[in-house]
Amino acid sequence: MLADLDAARGLRSISLRYFNAAGADPDGEIGEAHDPETHLIPLVLAAARDAKSVSVFGDDYTDGTCVRDYVHVLDIAEAHVLALEYLLREGASCSLNLANARGYSVKEVIATAERVSGRRIRVNITPRRVGDPAVLIGAFDRAQATLGWEPARSDLQIQIRDAWNWMRGAVRPAKTQ
């Protein structure tokens, strides 16, 4: 639809395709909270915080767990600013991946969360989900060439530390019925 709008009306746009958004505001003011939560890092950190277990879907991948690419939310926010500036300079419409070009296994995420939180995380292994790829890693070379963007917070420990700092101090809204 965006390409059609560009062709028909000259409305330029950029589609930013995020891989797994992770992390939080380093000052702990804004973070990720879904109900129900489905993202790995918040689930792992909630398990650490609440002394509960986390489910791992499949243990028959390369190291036993699947590998995913995580991008810090501040890097994503920076890409948005750069995308707007690019469009203001009359840049052409395009689609760009926002990724780290490096993946981490579920086991690596859990081990890093244990180091950051100082808590042991219990794991419940369940069967692999149908359709889950073993490895899903993105390339950000087009975002780098087009916007000058590259992830500045690609280290998993930084992403998990920021999410953990927010999660420990977050005020949760009351659930409504």
List the domains of the chain with CATH numbers: 2-167 (3.90.25.10)
- What is the pTM (predicted TM-score) of this model? 0.90
pLDDT reported for residue 29:
87
Helices 106-117, 40-50: crossing angle, 10 deg rounding? 40
The pLDDT tens digits for 122-153 are 999 999 989 999 999 999 999 999 999 999 99
Beta bridge partners of 95: 15
Percent of the chain at pLDDT exceeding 90: 82
| Phi (first) and psi of residue 75, to 5 degrees | -65, -40
Strands 122-126 and 53-57: parallel
pLDDT reported for residue 174:
45
Low-confidence ranges of the chain (pLDDT < 70): 170-177
pLDDT reported for residue 177:
45
